[in-house]
A and B are shown apart, each in its own frame.
Chain A
Amino acid sequence: MNIFIREMRDHRKGFIIWSVVILVFMVMAFVEFEAYYDNPEMAEILDNMPRGMLEAFGMYGANLTTINGYMSIVALYLYIMLGIFAVLLGNNIIGKEERDKTGEFLMSMPIKRYRILISKVAAAVANCFFLTLVAGAGIAISVNRYNPDWENVKYILQLLLATFLIQMIFLSLGLLIAASAKAFKKSSAISVTLVIVTYIISVIQSLSDSVEFLKYFTPFKYYQASEILKNDGFQGIYLVLTLLIVFLALFGVFFVYPRRDMKL
């Protein structure tokens, strides 16, 4: 419990910075919504736009004039930002002990390494969870003036859940990278590559139908906002995939880290 509290305190500053950025983004994102809201002329144009183009921008099936349609576009950017947060957090929370040479102190405490890990993972999950809540609050503030109904609220909650699941994937991968890489420098380089590559894959995937299979390789595509809107829920296969990735990665972390040769 002490380590958990210590970790929460240690990441408080970063958390606050991210929260402010996310809140500002949400409010700014909805500045433009005013022009679209309930504007039938624009809805008509969007309806007639070519599908490929809309898909390239993640706009397919989105009707910008409704809260749900607009949210389905905001969602992608929410995924990206909170995904980055999660991968960095996972990377940092493990790697910082060796980077800041505090590992010596921590590891000499009468606590087993897997207990340390549990506290660290719990703190990281809590951070992700709270950041999702902050994003939810930002959305609530922005959407409130457009009198959302239950359908809107439900969809927003679904998107927030999706955001959290994506964060869990990136968090567990970040933890795994940090636990298995030789040095912090290396693990941060791999994490960056992971984020950029998965993002670019998600863009390439939407370009052409011939590379449809790529969608399994990028978490950003697991919970496509437009699909959630269309199906009114998540697709089972991606939930399974998410669980599988998170479980395997965490298993890897708990296997590798207690056996790790610390460089102190």
Chain B
Amino acid sequence: MNIYKFEFKTYWKSFTLWSLGIIALQIIMMIFYPTMARDAQMMDLIMENYPEELLQAMGLGEHVSLATVLGYYTFVFVFVQLLIGVQSAYYGCHFLSIEEREHTADFLFAKPVTRRRILIEKYLAAFTILLLTSLVVTASTFISIELFSDGREYEIGPLILLLFTVPIFQLFFFSIGMLVTVGTKRIRSVISYALGFGFGLYVLNAFRSIVGGEFLGFFTPYYHFEPSYILMEGSIPVGRAIISISMILLAHGITYFAYLKRNIRAQ
């Protein structure tokens, strides 16, 4: 329990900063909603003139109207995902490698606590922070939408479903971070990996959404938990989500066994 408490405290500052970032992002992007909504209504009119099949072939079948609250919010939420993706990958990489980087490993691992216990307590501390972050996302989502929805109606069900996927999405990046740590001898710069994965997979999906095709989407959780699908269809794309979930489970298994056997480099 002591390790958990100690770890939990070390995240506090970073957690506050990330939360502020997420809140600021949502509010700033929602400020533009009222103006965008007016422009977007024109676009929708033009889009309606095209036959469905053609749009489908273009990969625009999933066209989302930016005029509606949820339509616009899909656009906002992709950036929220980008932030929490980077954050989660950072934590995943950070919490396993920090002792070796800061040369505190010999202090910690010399304590009369099993390594499994250290691993689990550290994991849970990071996981709690991820859950708290998802609560912050939930709160700031509702607040920013209420503030700037311009009195327009929206369905609350799909929104709750989308927010429900946040922890799974976080765990995906968290798992990648853990995998990288147990897969390398020494990590010098956590942030390189976090930014690389967070942004890299984002870029892959952003590109996929323009040129279309399922192939690129297979690799990226931004597609597995695509906000436009969840908000517009009102359901989670189960097939894609399963890819993410199996990846998470696999990574947890590998991390658990690999970390217990890891040659921890002390000073």
Q: Which residues of A contact B (CB under 8 A)?
A: 14, 21, 25, 28-29, 31-33, 35-36, 41-42, 45-46, 48-50, 52-53, 56-57, 59, 64, 73-74, 77, 80-81, 84, 88, 91-92, 96, 99-100, 188-189, 191-193, 195-196, 200, 203-204, 207-208, 210-211
Distance from B10 Cβ to chain A, minimum over Cβ atoms (Å): 12
Are the CB atoms of A92 and B35 closer together than 8 Å? no
Give the docked Cα–Cα distance between A211 and B213 (Å): 33
Give the complex CA separation of A84 and B189 in angstroms: 14
User: B24-46 interface mask toward A, CB cutoff 8 Å, 1 = contact, 0 = none?
Assistant: 01001100100110011011001
Which chain A residue has the least Cβ–Cβ distance from B57?
A42
**Would B211 and A81 count as touching, CB distance under 8 A?**
no
Whether A100 pairs with B188 at a CB distance below 8 angstroms is: yes
Q: Which residues of A contact B189 (CB under 8 A)?
A: 88, 92, 96, 99, 188
Contacts of B203 in A (CB 8 A): 25, 77, 80-81
CA distance A100 to B75 in the complex (A): 41
Contact of A57 among B36, B79, B188, B210 (CB under 8 A): B210
A169 to chain B, nearest CB (A): 17
A43 to B204, CA, bound (A): 23
In the bound complex, residues from chain B placing their C-beta under 8 Å from that of A81 are 199-200, 203
Q: Is B79 a contact of A28 with CB atoms below 8 Å?
A: no
**Interface assignment of B50: CB less than 8 Å from any CB of chain A:** yes
Question: Using a Cβ cutoff of 8 Å, how many contacts connect chains A and B?
Answer: 109
Contact A53 B211 (CB under 8 A): no
How many angstroms from the CA of A52 to the CA of B21 in the assembled complex? 27
Taken residue by residue from 69 to 104, chain B's Cβ proximity to chain A (1 for < 8 Å, 0 otherwise) reads as 000000100010011001000000000000000000
A84→B35 CA distance, assembly (Å)? 31
- B35: chain A residues at CB < 8 Å are 208, 210
Mark B residues whose CB is within 8 Å of A: 17, 21, 25, 28-29, 32, 35-36, 39-40, 42-43, 46-47, 50, 54-55, 57-58, 66, 75, 79, 82-83, 86, 188-192, 194-196, 199-200, 203-204, 206-207, 209-213, 215-216
A-B contact pairs, 30 of them (CB 8 A): A25-B204, A28-B215, A28-B216, A31-B213, A33-B211, A35-B213, A49-B46, A52-B42, A53-B43, A59-B210, A73-B207, A80-B199, A81-B200, A84-B196, A84-B199, A88-B189, A88-B195, A91-B191, A92-B189, A96-B188, A99-B188, A100-B188, A188-B189, A192-B86, A192-B194, A196-B21, A196-B83, A196-B86, A200-B29, A211-B32
CB distance from A66 to the nearest CB of B (A): 14
Task: Determine the chain B residues whose CB is within 8 A of the CB of A99 once the complex forms.
Answer: 188-189
Indicate if the CB atoms of A32 and B32 lie closer than 8 Å: no
Q: Is the CB of A208 within 8 A of B195?
A: no
Complexed CA–CA distance, A73 and B208 (Å): 11
CB proximity of A131 to chain B, nearest CB, Å: 13
Measured in the bound complex, the distance between the Cα atoms of B76 and A203 in whole Å is: 10
Q: Which of A29, A33, A195 contacts B199 (CB 8 A)?
A: A195
Q: A200-B25, A203-B79 are in contact. Are A77 and B206 (CB under 8 A)?
A: yes
CB-contact partner of B39 in A35, A52, A204, under 8 A: A52
Contacts A33-B211, A204-B29 hold; do A84 and B46 have CB atoms under 8 A apart? no
Do the beta carbons of A207 and B79 come within 8 Å of each other? no
